[in-house]
A and B are shown apart, each in its own frame.
Chain A
């Protein structure tokens, strides 16, 4: 049951992507996520697929770990696909009605739309799991603190937020141990967590939650004492041991990602006259592959 949260999903390696600065990876991941939402055609999804393959290969993370992350959103995926297939009303002028039964209609446009939504969600999760598989939560925390620093001007408590994240990370392992201990103690007293209906089972967890809560308060007090004893007085004059340095890898990584998205969007993404005029070759068999 116990997993080392310090390293989260982290997959240790020395790859190019691992060695990149966490801040840059975080920003590029955002670019990727936003970019995905602008993708309208299957052709561009093809390019994104190639991009992801190259990314995963250069991160040396096994594909299995990345696919595992999709398991977590499988319900969401199914729901999205089903809803989009059944509830997309096509335009009778240009779309084909494939099936019509009772109140349900399936249009070809609905199928395409569902497929695109499916790809978007899957690629979104794959992209972000490359980030979490190549970066430790500790590094991510530092990255977020550093990236949010400008918000200090508008009085966002950036340091405090980062501290909370860091304390949470260090607390989770002992919280899990504590939970295990309490569950075992209650089982030894005859508590039954595994049978009965939902309500009965939920009730069985109250004797676990209460000791956990009490323990949490005690820990909070002790932790506050420990932090005060170590001269903690908020963010005012704090310095940091960790230095984050950008290297050539970050430059190369940023250039590659930005160039890729800019190129793809300039060629395929815009509906401008100029682009349409220049991509006549995309019309094959009277289908505009740009918007297919």
Chain B
């Protein structure tokens, strides 16, 4: 069953030039997309390709100028639906510092449930469960700003989880993190998906989409291709036209193959590839 459906959605930003004349910039244009419940969908594209615009359309932060966005059967166009929609679609943004509303970890995580108006004992339960899900239980009473970037993002994830959404959208949540922090956040996302959560992962690190079921490639506000990660990586022309690169290990394995090496094509794991290259060299 589809939890989110976008039907021919367009969004334009109003901009003003020096003479105060109004013009419109394309955010997204003519996007149709459906996301199945429990799916792990990646959204990739160059800077300015419309990824964040699409993300904000998913929970009604912005409303489509034309077309419809439907979440769990509710259209975002109706203001009365927004509360219910946001209960269903959690969102984690790029900059961890700009999503903290409280200066104590557990109070930040409690912000969502407090807004839902649920009774106090249940808030406590949800907060401790959410912190456990992201492995941050021991930091409950700390202040967030001394934590690492990856830890802060895990707090932000816990804040979304405490609302108990069906879908969680990561809008380049790993972009500002070091490799370790990226791995932390990515692992949490994967683990949540295993537990049944629908995950929409927006990124421009192609390595991160390897485990996704479906990859949506965006360019200039349009969806230009939807396919499995391998289908996307295979399409060299598409990738270079939208300014993206296949993960290095895959690109390398292809080059080696065409140079006559006996290696697995589209090898994801750099270690395996290395082993195979050594094998080839000793055999020669």
User: B-contacting residues of A (Cβ < 8 Å)?
Assistant: 4-7, 137-138, 163, 166-167, 169-170, 173-174, 218-219, 222-223, 225-233, 237-243
Inside 8 A of B118's CB, which chain A residues have their CB? Answer: 239
For B61, B93, B108, B115, the residue with the greatest tally of chain A CB atoms inside 10 Å of its CB is B115
Knowing A222-B98, A240-B114, A241-B107, say if A229 contacts B61 (CB, 8 Å): yes
B112 x A231 contact (CB < 8 A): yes
Interfacial residues of chain B within 67-111, with CB under 8 A of chain A in the complex? 83, 86-87, 89-91, 93, 95, 97-104, 106-108, 110-111
A-B contact count (CB 8 A): 112
Between-chain CB contacts (< 8 Å), 17 pairs: A6-B104, A6-B143, A166-B101, A170-B101, A219-B95, A223-B101, A227-B101, A229-B90, A230-B159, A230-B160, A231-B112, A233-B83, A238-B115, A239-B117, A240-B120, A241-B123, A241-B127
B83 x A225 contact (CB < 8 A): no
Contact residues on B (Cβ < 8 Å of other chain), bracket: 35 or more
Q: Does B59 have its Cβ within 8 Å of any Cβ on chain A? A: yes
Interfacial residues of chain B within 137-189, with CB under 8 A of chain A in the complex? 143-146, 156, 159-160, 163
Among A166, A218, A227, A240, contact of B103 (Cβ-Cβ < 8 Å): A166
CA distance A199 to B201 in the complex (A): 50
Shortest beta-carbon distance from A236 to chain B in Å:
8
Interfacial residues of chain B within 3-33, with CB under 8 A of chain A in the complex? none
Inside 8 A of B113's CB, which chain A residues have their CB? Answer: 239, 241
A231 x B116 contact (CB < 8 A): yes
User: A-contacting residues of B (Cβ < 8 Å)?
Assistant: 56, 59, 61, 83, 86-87, 89-91, 93, 95, 97-104, 106-108, 110-120, 123-124, 127, 143-146, 156, 159-160, 163
Shortest beta-carbon distance from A240 to chain B in Å:
6
CA distance A283 to B143 in the complex (A): 57
For A7, A167, A226, A227, the residue with the greatest tally of chain B CB atoms inside 10 Å of its CB is A226
Inside 8 A of A225's CB, which chain B residues have their CB? Answer: 56, 61, 91, 93
Shortest beta-carbon distance from A131 to chain B in Å:
18
A166 x B102 contact (CB < 8 A): yes
Inside 8 A of A240's CB, which chain B residues have their CB? Answer: 114, 120, 123
